[in-house]
């Protein structure tokens, strides 16, 4: 029986061996199986290679001239924590195997080895990497309910937006999604990633308003140990972690001006540096962006760079608000009601005619996110199997600047929402609004998300 095994899925592989014959033979073996291989002879070149490219697997010879490959293992893992390292050596022993595993190696391959043995190792690593990426995707999906929006729609505007998203998914073009908060921009971005040839690679969301400038820079680009107070270990950053995949910059209009040139450079050249480090790194990451503010007005006000705006809006997709899709509201609500009923062990026949009319005529300032909250609440309050308007609690909402006043018999949250909307509309920036409201920007971002502003 032949010992030839089927090739494993393509991996980015680094070979580190000071023997030219072994290095070339191993590289040729890996390339014949379809892997992308970089081969170097020493630890210095190996570390330099990891700053230019993200690898899945590294083969490291224990004896690298006068240096030990063992010492290279932690340095490689500091650059890329997800690396799988296989130690290769002509001096195989239990002690060296145990020591290499202690330092972070994944496997151990004694010399001389056959192509079949190399194939077994690469298959194992490919399988593990695929599982890690699947788990990462599932964990990310658990934090974001996919039921917030159903991409099926009778609205021509929504249909055009979804069709455009499908059309551009296969490309690597930067896409800017516009729309009010809660319209489902994040869900459509996930769909674009899922429809693309990057679907098997990582996907991440970075919320631009949720962190301070320093923490946002570290979250996006990474940092090295000691770069700032509290940086007790290296952080590769989201760009490195998403190599080969997709990243969404949510509410990009709130990206601090100081970070905009760095993002522009990455979008143009795919190059960046970690905080506290001068090494230039590269990452193959598709950048998508979403915003609920007018970036052209922000640009005129000096809060957003013109060159960055033109770079991120190669393709623009606008999602219509829910109030412009009245025929979709009831269908979405019915699907959500069944989902919440199943989750809470209830059976619902649906909404009464009066409840359907209320759903259609309500303005939905919070869009699909608000609809989800209303349906969830009604599924809890309703004791029968038909949800009525009394369970929806859709009180008429005041427009900003009129309607509700302090002292009116209305919930406190309604007053707060109206006040925040008025201040935001009258100020030039999120920072200015936060100072007037007496809250930090992160708190204001959470209030905006809560009220769909």
- Look at residue 441 and tell me whether its pLDDT is greater than 50: yes
**From CA 402, how far away is CA 285, in angstroms rounded?**
46
Same domain, 55 and 185: no
Q: What is the average pLDDT value for the chain, to the nearest integer? A: 85
Least confident stretch, 172-176, 188-192, 321-325, 409-413:
409-413
* DSSP-derived pairing of the beta strands 84-89 and 67-68: unpaired
Q: What's the confidence (pLDDT) of residue 15?
A: 93
- Look at residue 425 and tell me whether its pLDDT is greater than 80: no
The domain boundary residue, chosen from 279, 301, 318: 318
Whole-number percent of the chain with pLDDT over 90: 43
Q: What average pLDDT does the segment 386-403 reach?
A: 70
- Look at residue 398 and tell me whether its pLDDT is greater than 70: no
Q: What's the confidence (pLDDT) of residue 136?
A: 59
Query: By the 8 A CB rule, do 388 and 382 touch?
Result: yes
User: What distances in angstroms separate CA 152 from CA 155, 230, 305, 360, 363, one per listed residue?
Assistant: 9, 46, 35, 17, 20
Same domain, 286 and 360: no
Same domain, 306 and 199: yes
Confidence of residue 254 (pLDDT cuts 50, 70, 90): very high
Inter-axis angle of helices 213-221 and 260-269, nearest 10? 20
Q: What's the confidence (pLDDT) of residue 257?
A: 95
Element (H, E) at 159: helix 156-169
Per the structure block, which two tokens stand in for 375?
Answer: 């349906």
In this structure, is residue 329 part of a structural domain?
yes
Q: What's the confidence (pLDDT) of residue 74?
A: 86
The domain boundary residue, chosen from 82, 104, 133: 133
Query: By the 8 A CB rule, do 86 and 57 touch?
Result: yes
Q: What's the confidence (pLDDT) of residue 372?
A: 92
Higher pLDDT, 154 or 171: 171
What is the DSSP secondary structure assignment for residue 289, as one 8-state letter? Answer: E
The domain that holds 341 is classified in CATH as: 1.10.8.60
As to burial, measured by CB atoms within 10 angstroms (0-12 exposed, 13-18 middle, 19+ buried), residue 235 is buried
In this structure, is residue 6 part of a structural domain?
no
DSSP code string of 376-420:
HHHHHH--SSEE-HHHH--PPPPPTTSS--TTSSS-HHHHHHHHH
**From CA 349, how far away is CA 60, in angstroms rounded?**
63
Same domain, 351 and 218: no
Query: By the 8 A CB rule, do 7 and 34 touch?
Result: yes
Least confident stretch, 134-138, 252-256, 429-433:
134-138
- Other C-beta atoms within 10 Å of 122: how many? 27
- Look at residue 402 and tell me whether its pLDDT is greater than 50: no
- Look at residue 350 and tell me whether its pLDDT is greater than 60: yes
Q: What's the confidence (pLDDT) of residue 16?
A: 93
pLDDT digits (tens, 9 = 90+) for 13-41: 999 998 888 889 999 999 988 898 999 99
Q: What average pLDDT does the segment 319-333 reach?
A: 91
Confidence of residue 3 (pLDDT cuts 50, 70, 90): very low
- Look at residue 355 and tell me whether its pLDDT is greater than 50: yes
Same domain, 332 and 308: no
Confidence of residue 105 (pLDDT cuts 50, 70, 90): confident
Q: What's the confidence (pLDDT) of residue 140?
A: 52
Same domain, 216 and 170: yes
pLDDT digits (tens, 9 = 90+) for 276-317: 998 899 999 999 999 998 999 999 999 999 999 999 999 999
* CB within 8 Å of 123: residues ≥ 6 apart: 5, 6, 8
Same domain, 62 and 153: no
Query: By the 8 A CB rule, do 363 and 322 touch?
Result: no
Inter-axis angle of helices 326-343 and 367-381, nearest 10? 50
Peptide bond into 112 cis (omega under 30): yes
- Look at residue 163 and tell me whether its pLDDT is greater than 80: yes
Torsion of CA 367, 368, 371, 372, to 10 degrees: -150
In this structure, is residue 446 part of a structural domain?
no
Query: By the 8 A CB rule, do 176 and 319 touch?
Result: no
Higher pLDDT, 427 or 380: 380
Name 110's bridge partners: 89
**From CA 371, how far away is CA 19, in angstroms rounded?**
65
- Look at residue 347 and tell me whether its pLDDT is greater than 80: yes
The domain that holds 212 is classified in CATH as: 3.40.50.300
pLDDT digits (tens, 9 = 90+) for 201-222: 999 999 998 888 989 999 999 9
What is the count of structural domains for the chain? 3
Q: What's the confidence (pLDDT) of residue 5?
A: 43
Confidence of residue 4 (pLDDT cuts 50, 70, 90): very low
**From CA 22, how far away is CA 341, in angstroms rounded?**
62
The domain boundary residue, chosen from 270, 290, 318: 318
**From CA 57, how far away is CA 82, in angstroms rounded?**
9
From 270, 268, 282, 273, select the one nearest 310 (Cα to Cα): 268
- Other C-beta atoms within 10 Å of 91: how many? 9
Q: What average pLDDT does the segment 45-70 reach?
A: 85
**From CA 220, how far away is CA 398, in angstroms rounded?**
39
In this structure, is residue 435 part of a structural domain?
no
Higher pLDDT, 432 or 347: 347
Same domain, 187 and 281: yes
Q: What's the confidence (pLDDT) of residue 233?
A: 82
Q: What's the confidence (pLDDT) of residue 102?
A: 81
Same domain, 185 and 154: yes
**From CA 448, how far away is CA 69, in angstroms rounded?**
52
From 195, 316, 211, select the one nearest 254 (Cα to Cα): 211
- Residue 308 belongs to what domain range? 144-318
Q: What average pLDDT does the segment 247-256 reach?
A: 95
- Look at residue 51 and tell me whether its pLDDT is greater than 50: yes
Q: What's the confidence (pLDDT) of residue 143?
A: 45
Element (H, E) at 272: strand 271-272
């Amino acid at each position: 029986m032949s010992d030839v095994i089927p090739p494993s899925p393509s991996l980015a592989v680094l070979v580190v061996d000071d023997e030219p014959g072994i290095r070339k033979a191993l590289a040729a073996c890996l390339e014949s199986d379809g892997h992308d291989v970089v081969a170097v002879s020493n630890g210095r070149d190996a570390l330099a290679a990891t700053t230019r490219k993200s690898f899945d697997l590294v083969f490291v010879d224990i004896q690298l001239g006068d240096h030990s490959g063992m010492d290279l293992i932690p340095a490689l893992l500091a650059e890329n924590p997800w690396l799988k390292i296989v130690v290769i050596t002509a001096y195989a022993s239990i002690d060296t195997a145990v020591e290499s595993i202690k330092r972070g190696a994944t496997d151990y391959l004694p010399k001389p080895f056959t192509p079949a043995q190399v194939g077994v190792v690469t298959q194992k690593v490919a399988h593990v990497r695929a599982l890690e990426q699947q788990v990462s995707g599932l964990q990310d999906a658990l934090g974001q309910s996919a039921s917030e929006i159903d991409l099926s729609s009778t609205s021509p505007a929504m249909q055009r937006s979804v069709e455009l998203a499908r059309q551009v998914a296969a490309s690597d073009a930067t896409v800017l999604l516009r729309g009010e908060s809660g319209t489902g921009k994040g869900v459509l971005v996930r769909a674009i990633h899922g429809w693309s040839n990057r679907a098997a690679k990582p996907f991440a969301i970075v919320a631009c308003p949720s962190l301070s400038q320093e923490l946002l820079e570290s979250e996006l680009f990474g940092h090295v140990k000691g770069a700032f107070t509290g940086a007790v270990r290296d952080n590769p950053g989201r760009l490195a972690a998403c190599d080969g995949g997709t990243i969404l910059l949510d509410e990009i209009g709130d990206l601090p001006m100081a970070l905009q040139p760095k993002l522009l450079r990455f979008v143009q050249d795919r190059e960046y540096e970690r905080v506290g480090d001068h090494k230039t790194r590269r990452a193959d990451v598709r950048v998508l962006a979403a915003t609920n503010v007018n970036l052209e007005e922000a640009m005129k006000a000096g809060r957003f760079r013109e060159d960055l705006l033109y770079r991120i809006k190669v393709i623009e997709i606008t999602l219509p608000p829910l109030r412009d899709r009245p025929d979709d509201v009831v269908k979405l609500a019915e699907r959500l009601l069944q989902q919440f009923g199943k989750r809470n062990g209830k059976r619902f026949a649906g909404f009464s005619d009066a409840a359907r009319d209320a759903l259609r005529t309500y303005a939905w300032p919070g869009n699909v996110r608000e609809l989800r909250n209303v349906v969830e609440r009604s599924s809890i309050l309703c004791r029968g199997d038909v949800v009525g308007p009394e369970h929806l609690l859709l009180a008429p909402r005041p427009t900003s600047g009129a309607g509700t006043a302090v002292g009116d018999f209305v919930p406190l949250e309604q007053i707060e929402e109206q006040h925040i909307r008025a201040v935001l509309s009258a100020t030039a920036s999120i920072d200015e609004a936060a100072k007037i409201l007496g809250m930090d920007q992160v708190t204001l971002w959470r209030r905006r998300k809560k009220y769909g502003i």
